[in-house]
Structures are given as C-alpha cells and as structure tokens.
Amino acid sequence: MLLPLFRTLCVICLLVIFHAHKAAAAAANLNSICSTLASRLPNNRVALPRNEAYNVSTSSYAYANQQTQRPSCIVQPASATEVSLVIKLLRQSPNTPFAVRSGGHATNRGFSNIDGSVTIDLTALRAVRVLKDGVTVSIDTGASWGDVYRVLDPRRRSLNGGRASNVGIGGFLSGGGIGFFALKYGFGCDAVTNVQVVLANGDIIEANNKSHKDLFVALKGGQNNFGIVTRWDVTTVPQGNVWGGSVVYLNTTTAAQLNAFTRWKSSKNFDPASSVEQSHVYIGSINQWLVASLLFYSEPTPFPKDLKGFTDIQPQLDSSLRITNVSGMADEIQSQSTPNQYTIFSTLTIAISPTILRKIHSLWVSSVQKQSANNIAITSSLTLQSIPSPPSSPSRQNSLGFPSASTPQKDLVLVLLSSFWEDPAHGPQVEAAVQWFITEAEKTARREGVYHKFQYPNYAAAQFQDPLRSTGRLEELRKVAKRYDPTGVFQRQVRGGWKLF
C-alpha cells in the first residue's frame, strides 16, 4: 500500500514542479514579449501594471467582468501599421494568447481582455472623418459612437450606431449592431462600405464589395475571427432632429405594457421610423419593480401615432420625451446604463403571439426570485425590442442569417435578459438562474410555435449560448477564416469572442 501511495505522491510532486517551471517560463516569456513590443513600437505604447495608462485602460471597460482582468501588458497601437507590427510579433509566439479590445463594452469575461497575457487596446485609433463625398464617414475602430454622432449631427446626417454614446465601434459593428434606425436601415454593419483589416500575417488590406468580398461579408456579424479591423467606412443618411426619450412607469402597468408591445408588433401599419425598447426592471437594492421604456421616433414628431400605445399608459413616474438630436439621445441612454458591476447578458428571439410575452414575463419574475435568493441584491432587466430589418439587397449581405426577402423587423422580438451584481461570489447563482430562464423561455416559445433560432451575438451569454451557430452561416465563415488566417491565429491565440472551430 505504501509504495503505490509514495509513487503517486512523487508523480504529483513532479507534476507540481513541472507546472511551476512551466508557469515561470511562461511569465518570463511574457515579460520578454511585452518588452519586445515596447522596444519595437514608439514610446508609451505598452502599459505595464505599474503604469497609470494600464489603470486607465482596465478601468474604462464597461463592466467589472473585464475591468478585473489583469493582462501582463496592454499594447496600445496608434495606427494600422503598428497593429500589423504587433500581430507579426504575437504570431511568432503561438502559445501566447491575446485579447483585442475596442470600446470594451462586451459583457462576457475574456471577450476583450485577458489574464496574464497581452491585450491589444485599440482606443488610440479614434479618428472620425467625413469623406469628400459628404456621405461616407470613416471611423477608426477605437472611437465611440458618441464621437461619431458629434461629427454627424451638425451635418444633419446619421447612421445605425450604438444607442449608448460610450459603446465602441469595432465590437458593435462586427457583432451586427442595433441602432436607433434599425427598423429602417437594418443592422449597423449593413451600412459599412469598406473596412481596413490587419490580417493574421500582418498584411493590411481593404475589404469591400469588389475586393475581398468574402471577408467583407464575414466581418459583418462574424466578430473577431478573421483579422483586426482598424477602420470602418460607413455610409450615412440624411437625418435631422428626432423625438424620444425614456418613460418610467410603476409596475402596476405591467399587463398594459405587455399588451401595448404585443399590439405594436402585431400591427398591420408597420412604421419603420419607430423604435421601442421596453424594459421590465427589478432593482434589488431598493426592492423595486418598474417598467422603463425607451421610445424613439426618427422624425421630430412628438407623440407619433405609432407609439401612442406606450405614451398613453399611466401612471408615469418620469418622462424625458422631447425633440432632440441623436447625440442627445445617446448621451441620455449612456447616463442610464449600469456600468462597473458584474453582469450577464443573455438573449432569445421569438415571433409575437397574443400570449407569449405574458409567459416570458412571468418566467423572468421567477428567475429574479432565483437570482436574488439568499438576499443577494441584483438589478435585472427583461428588455423587449425588435430585430433590425435584413440587408436591403443580396449585394449588401451580412453574416447574421436573415435573407433580404424576410421581415424580422416586423415579425420578431429580440428578448434580452441583463442582470447586474456587485460581488463576484454571487456570479454562479445569478448565472444559473439566468440560464434557467433562457431554457424555460425557449421551451415555452417552442410550445407556442414562436421560437426562432437567432441569438444576437452582442447579447449572448458565453456560459451557455453560441450565436455564430444560430445563423446557418457557420461553414461559410469557417471557409473565410481558413482562407485569410490559415494557421488559425484568430482561433487559437485570440481566445475571447465567439469562435468558429
């Protein structure tokens, strides 16, 4: 008995020594990678944990999920050429994983930050220029949508960007992107006309509908699997002031709210100028249930007929409905966000039926009880909105899987469950209750015949969802990844994000 035990102990101790050596070697290797990066790039492009720039970068992620990750160094390239240099260096060290970050709004841990390795922070790339045609806006990937709206508003033009002004360009557009004008013009990525991409081999290329069209289509919804986009050229549309804002209601209005949303989605008189995000909210710290709706109309028309179903509901605790511009709307929505906490977003897509929203709402109430069991103070929101319209012609194809002839903007409801909490120890309980909600809601939707397989990439939960497998375009995306990244740098080294293999 003794000998085998001794042997086992020995093997364990050898394994421990081996792993300790490996960990030390990996750390030394990372130190050398970080210092090589620093020596090849201009000054101040590589931030180490002791530098202020490192703090500024990590604390500027939207949520604690990624604020609390600790890369060995953060590299902040300021041009596509510098991004190319970084990629060439990192690919030479195939066992070094790295993360790529633009706005840092991803909710899933590890999607744009990393522990103990290298994060490429693209926020130094933030120029926004309107091209000579006066129509195309050329946006560096690390800018924020607020930066873009402040350039476009005075020109009376706009586009489908993030509805909160701090959201970044790269993650938003590569995941589709739902903007204020989504029911009119589709996903944010559909207006992109050209992208500048740094490939895995360091080549800097332009992809558009004439050149590298396969890559161009894949990047619109296929996320970070093909290269690092450094610049997006996006076409804009004429746009003056708009009407909208947030209305906060007591939860005594819940039934009326769900009826209004059901009627709005079932209406024969579809009005693409409208946009509605109806959130059922539980705020654990004050034990309050509320309904908060974002109502938006793309004309400066107060109380449009299409949104009367919502504006008529009483009592209202607060309302910011007004005529404003797109920056004004986006700044307001930013100010209402719930940053700096731990969070999980998860999503499902359904067709409308007279009863489905009531059932989903009641599942959400049950999930809130499960999420906040043992007196855990969470904030949780069940948000209902529409799926954007599909690409207007096959030549504008994206990778999200809706054919031009389909009408998801009329037919489908995008359900988002987002929950927030302070203490990382509470994560497992909240996440399990959120997964329970999605499983039950999907079952209910299937039973009612209203289930749709689409999962919006920018809302899906990495713990149990897989949106790129929900679009029917996985094989297509895999082919493009193999063509542009044959050694799989963006599959193996970039671990965060929705992977293809």
Q: What residues make contact with ligand NAG under the rule CB under 6 A?
A: 52, 55, 153-154, 193, 209, 251, 254, 289, 324-325, 327-328, 395
DSSP element (H, E) containing 316:
strand 316-319
Distance CA 276, CA 263 (A): 13
Instruction: Name the minimum Å distance from CB 394 to ligand NAG.
Output: 9
Give just the sign of the alpha carbon dihedral 431, 112, 397, 410: positive
Radius of gyration, CA atoms only, the chain? 23
Distance CA 32, CA 180 (A): 46
Q: Is the Cβ of residue 253 or residue 444 nearer to ligand NAG in the bound state? A: 253
Q: Is the Cβ of residue 325 or residue 334 nearer to ligand NAG in the bound state? A: 325
Under 8 Å between Cβ of 344 and 433: no
Instruction: Name the minimum Å distance from CB 251 to ligand NAG.
Output: 4
Q: Residue 495 class from Cβ within 10 Å (0-12 exposed, 13-18 middle, 19+ buried)?
A: middle
Q: Is the Cβ of residue 29 or residue 235 nearer to ligand NAG in the bound state? A: 235
Instruction: Name the minimum Å distance from CB 427 to ligand NAG.
Output: 21
Instruction: Name the minimum Å distance from CB 238 to ligand NAG.
Output: 14
Task: Please give the span between the terminal C-alpha atoms of the chain, in angstroms, as a whole number.
Answer: 45
Distance CA 233, CA 217 (A): 14
The closest residue (CB) to ligand NAG is 395
Q: Is the Cβ of residue 91 or residue 396 nearer to ligand NAG in the bound state? A: 396
Q: Residue 274 class from Cβ within 10 Å (0-12 exposed, 13-18 middle, 19+ buried)?
A: buried
Q: Which residues pair with 383 in a beta bridge?
A: 279, 416
Q: Is the Cβ of residue 239 or residue 324 nearer to ligand NAG in the bound state? A: 324
Q: What angle do CA 333, 338, 344 make, to 5 degrees?
A: 115
Q: Is the Cβ of residue 209 or residue 487 nearer to ligand NAG in the bound state? A: 209
Instruction: Name the minimum Å distance from CB 329 to ligand NAG.
Output: 9
Q: Is the Cβ of residue 97 or residue 188 nearer to ligand NAG in the bound state? A: 188
Q: Is the Cβ of residue 194 or residue 455 nearer to ligand NAG in the bound state? A: 194
Instruction: Name the minimum Å distance from CB 154 to ligand NAG.
Output: 4
Helix (H, G, I), strand (E, B) or coil at 63: coil
Instruction: Name the minimum Å distance from CB 280 to ligand NAG.
Output: 8
Relative to beta strand 118-121, strand 98-101 is: parallel
Q: Is the Cβ of residue 289 or residue 451 nearer to ligand NAG in the bound state? A: 289
Under 8 Å between Cβ of 56 and 74: no
Instruction: Name the minimum Å distance from CB 360 to ligand NAG.
Output: 13
Instruction: Name the minimum Å distance from CB 385 to ligand NAG.
Output: 20
Q: Is the Cβ of residue 29 or residue 340 nearer to ligand NAG in the bound state? A: 340
Instruction: Name the minimum Å distance from CB 152 to ligand NAG.
Output: 9
Distance CA 375, CA 409 (A): 39
List Cα–Cα distances, 498 to 128, 179, 181, 227, 277, in angstroms.
Answer: 28, 22, 26, 14, 25
Instruction: Name the minimum Å distance from CB 78 to ligand NAG.
Output: 21
List Cα–Cα distances, 221 to 224, 383, 401, 416, 473, in angstroms.
Answer: 9, 22, 9, 18, 10
Q: Is the Cβ of residue 325 or residue 347 nearer to ligand NAG in the bound state? A: 325
Contacts (Cβ under 8 Å, ≥6 apart) of 37: 45, 46, 73, 75, 86, 89, 118
Contacts (Cβ under 8 Å, ≥6 apart) of 105: 61, 62, 63, 162, 166, 167, 168, 171, 172
List Cα–Cα distances, 488 to 180, 226, 277, 311, 337, in angstroms.
Answer: 36, 9, 38, 51, 36
Q: Is the Cβ of residue 153 or residue 306 nearer to ligand NAG in the bound state? A: 153
Distance CA 370, CA 130 (A): 49
The two tokens of residue 231 are 């610049």
Q: Is the Cβ of residue 205 or residue 474 nearer to ligand NAG in the bound state? A: 205
Instruction: Name the minimum Å distance from CB 242 to ligand NAG.
Output: 10
Instruction: Name the minimum Å distance from CB 100 to ligand NAG.
Output: 23
Distance CA 64, CA 430 (A): 15
